[in-house]
Amino acid sequence: MTQPGEMEVQRECVTLCNRDCPDTCAIRATVERGRVVRLRGDPSHPVTRGFLCYRTNQFLTRQYSDARLTSPLLRKGDAFVPVTWDEALSVTATRLTKIREESGGAAIFHYRSGGSLGLLKTLTDYFFALFGPVTVKQGDICSGAGEAAQSMDFGECDSSDLHTLLDSRHILLWGKNVHASSPHTLMVLRDAKARGASVVLIDPVHHEGAKFADAYHQLAPGGDFALAMAVAHLLFVRGAIDPEAARYCDFLDEFEGLATSQSVADWCREADVPVAAAEDLARRLADKPCAIVVGWGMGRRSNGGAIVRALDALCAISGNLGIAGGGVSFYYRRRNGLEGALPQVPPPPRTICEPLFGEQVLAAREPPIRALWVTAGNPGAMLPDSERVARAIRSTEFSVVVDSEFTDTARLATLVLPTTTLLEEDDLVGAYGHHFLGVSRPVVEPPTGVRSDLQIVQDLAERVGLGDSLRGSAREWKRRFLAHRLEGSGVGLEQLERGPVRNPLAKRVLFSERRFATATGRVQLIHDRPPPPAQPESPDPEQFPLQLLALSTRQAQSSQWAGAPPDVLTATINPTVAPGVSDGQRCRLRSAIGCIDVVVRLDARQRSDVVIVPKGGHFHLGASGNALVQAKLTDIGQGGALYEERVRLEV
Ligand SMILES: Nc1nc2c(c(=O)[nH]1)N[C@H]1C(S)=C(S)[C@@H](COP(=O)(O)OP(=O)(O)OC[C@H]3O[C@@H](n4cnc5c(=O)[nH]c(N)nc54)[C@H](O)[C@@H]3O)O[C@H]1N2
Ligand SMILES: Nc1nc2c(c(=O)[nH]1)N[C@H]1C(S)=C(S)[C@@H](COP(=O)(O)OP(=O)(O)OC[C@H]3O[C@@H](n4cnc5c(=O)[nH]c(N)nc54)[C@H](O)[C@@H]3O)O[C@H]1N2
Ligand code: SF4
Ligand SMILES: [Mo]
């Protein structure tokens, strides 16, 4: 036993992974003499089941990397110099207060992304709302279209329990790569298969899921709306519509009109699949229960919202909504019961649409955006039209980036503030891929010189006269968030500290009463294709024949790589795209707005109209897909249409 004053030799701690990932794993960390030496998944967590993904298994190299920031860095000309926290925060308080006095809160833009899913990160939003209110982002680069689609159709965006997939006869993975992006969902799919379910993948890209699936339909990118209409057409003509559908769906006749406005063969031609693909999906939807599991990637298109709405409609008319093993799952409401926990704040004076960050920050007038504060995001690498995003960040007088790494965005900032990592996090975390809630707790203390987001805004709040509103330890804030609704439902802090708990407010089977939070209480079936928003002109498809897909890779969490980030991206293409080009050859990818070097990987299983690169490459290395991608919006929800940029390969 350890004596007082003696350092423990070894201990094991449990925390929750806060990364922007659906799985929200419970991590068991082994700590020896104050240093984490091993990470593994908690075997007792029903979703984690004892393993972590590749990128978090490798996290200790990031945690203990020399590149870790441990001091505030203030720009002096082209260089950054280390400064004390006192200097960093007093400069910040002075500059922000002056800008607010001269130009109003709207001249300050607080941008927060998903680098940590901890709920306490919203306290930075809270601080800025009280200090300003300031300009904030609107829309969502990640899931804007899909969330808007489900909110329109059902009045909310949530899912039945992940484990209800064990009741499915068929599971349609529609535009989803669980092997790369949600490995713990894969385990549930394996169990469902062992119980007799069949799994089908619908995806233009051939990935590991294609081999895992019992059937694979490799449709044209963005062809999903047409394929869904072909399937709906078949369901209508075969009388495979739920006899009760008219009771809980509005616009059933109009939806039928839309689906049958074209022949099945014509819809399938549009989707570039054989009619047999639509037949296969119609048969499975009629053989209930059949679940549709919708990927987030597919919605990142200018018809992304319409696609998700079409899948919602398929699920509804086939009678798969509201039954265990059915459903159309896009997102799990990870903040259920935690929304609205903070006191009401004044609305923002202005918003910047996230996917249009570069253009809108540069165009902002009366007042212009004079200051930027970035929390848990790396827009310099992850937002489209990165050259313009960089210009926008540089155009501000004062920009602060809070991060543990010297990211592409940090490189552009005036001031960089070093913060904690997921192993030092003290927060409350809900998942967007299942219904378990939990707390993260520091496994080790952060290095000297590093502060949490909460400590940073608390110190700043004290300096600008808002100290009272932000005061409290992380644990006290967790308790305040839980007191809002969850404690009353039986989930208290002590209970969460013993281990993750299923959110009692989440329904096991969503919509089992077939009542919906829409104005009429019924499903709103899509019956018109929403017109695409006005967009930058598309380049000539003859000159730019490939669609660029910058997709999740096992090696990285967005721009956070397990090892060194690649200095050149691998571009996977079908060999017929570039006859004469050999595997491993260095080429260039060019779009209407940029050009990057790539190393070609030939893969005959891919379609000949796409090129696949990993997402998250670094801009300053010339290895970011977003240097090529124009900033475009999805049809609804102000999402980013990221996956339809036209490019060509140059030898
Ligand atoms: N390893 C790893 N895991 C991650 C992340 C990461 O960066 N790395 N990021 C996390 C984040 S932020 C998110 S939002 C989730 C993302 O989770 P997903 O959205 O599931 O993301 P991806 O794994 O990129 O899979 C998207 C799939 O959509 C397909 N797709 C693209 N266009 C179309 C289309 O038009 N139709 C159809 N049917 N399919 C299409 C792509 O080929 C790809 O297989 O993953 C999280 N998990
Ligand atoms: N072309 C293309 N672009 C894409 C995508 C794509 O598929 N293709 N995917 C899109 C998607 S789905 C998403 S969600 C976005 C992701 O975009 P971002 O959210 O910007 O992604 P990250 O690169 O993970 O940046 C998060 C940063 O937060 C930091 N961080 C981690 N923990 C903390 C913390 O506790 N506090 C603070 N202050 N910082 C922390 C990390 O070090 C990291 O630098 O990118 C989008 N961009
Ligand atoms: S990134 Fe996702 S899969 Fe990996 S450990 Fe974290 S929650 Fe689990
Ligand atoms: Mo995302």
Here the tokens at position 581 are 């080009």
Here the tokens at position 266 are 């014509």
Contact 608, 110 (CB under 8 A): no
Q: What is the pTM of this model?
A: 0.97
CA of 85 to the centre of ligand 1 (A): 39
pLDDT of amino acid 312 = 98
Helix (H, G, I), strand (E, B) or coil at 601: strand
For the residues of 304-367, what is the DSSP string, one character each? HHHHHHHHHHHHHHTT-TTSTT--EE----TTTTTTT-SPP-PPPS-EEEGGGHHHHHHH--SS
pLDDT of amino acid 7 = 60
The helix (H) or strand (E) run that includes residue 216 is: strand 215-217
Ligand 1 within 6 A of CB of 209 = no
Ligand 2 within 6 A of CB of 113 = yes
What span, in angstroms and rounded, lies between the C-alpha atoms of 498 and 466?
A: 34
CA 50 to chain centroid: 24
Ligand 2 within 6 A of CB of 625 = yes
The helix (H) or strand (E) run that includes residue 82 is: strand 79-82
pLDDT of amino acid 623 = 98
pLDDT of amino acid 532 = 74
**Whose CA is closest to atom 5 on ligand 3?**
52
Ligand 1 within 6 A of CB of 210 = no
**Whose CA is closest to atom 44 on ligand 1?**
177
Amino acid sitting at position 392: A
For a mutational test of ligand 2's pocket, the pick from 55, 120, 378, i.e. the residue with the most ligand atoms closer than 8 A to its C-beta, is 378
Intervals of the chain under pLDDT 50: 1-2
- With tokens 């707005």, the residue in question is 593
List Cα–Cα distances, 602 to 395, 424, 549, 552, 607, in angstroms: 41, 41, 15, 19, 11
CA nearest neighbour of 454 among 439, 470, 469: 470
Atom of ligand 3 nearest to the CA of 48: 8
Amino acid sitting at position 45: H
Q: Which domains are delineated in the chain? A: 10-63 (3.30.200.210), 160-330 (3.40.228.10), 546-650 (2.40.40.20)
For a mutational test of ligand 1's pocket, the pick from 143, 203, 555, 629, i.e. the residue with the most ligand atoms closer than 8 A to its C-beta, is 203
Contact 523, 316 (CB under 8 A): yes
Ligand 2 within 6 A of CB of 20 = yes
Q: Give 398's strand partners.
A: 371
CA of 20 to the centre of ligand 4 (A): 7
The helix (H) or strand (E) run that includes residue 264 is: helix 264-271
pLDDT of amino acid 6 = 57
Contact 612, 551 (CB under 8 A): yes
The CA angle 439-505-293, to the nearest 5 degrees, is 85
What span, in angstroms and rounded, lies between the C-alpha atoms of 578 and 608?
A: 10
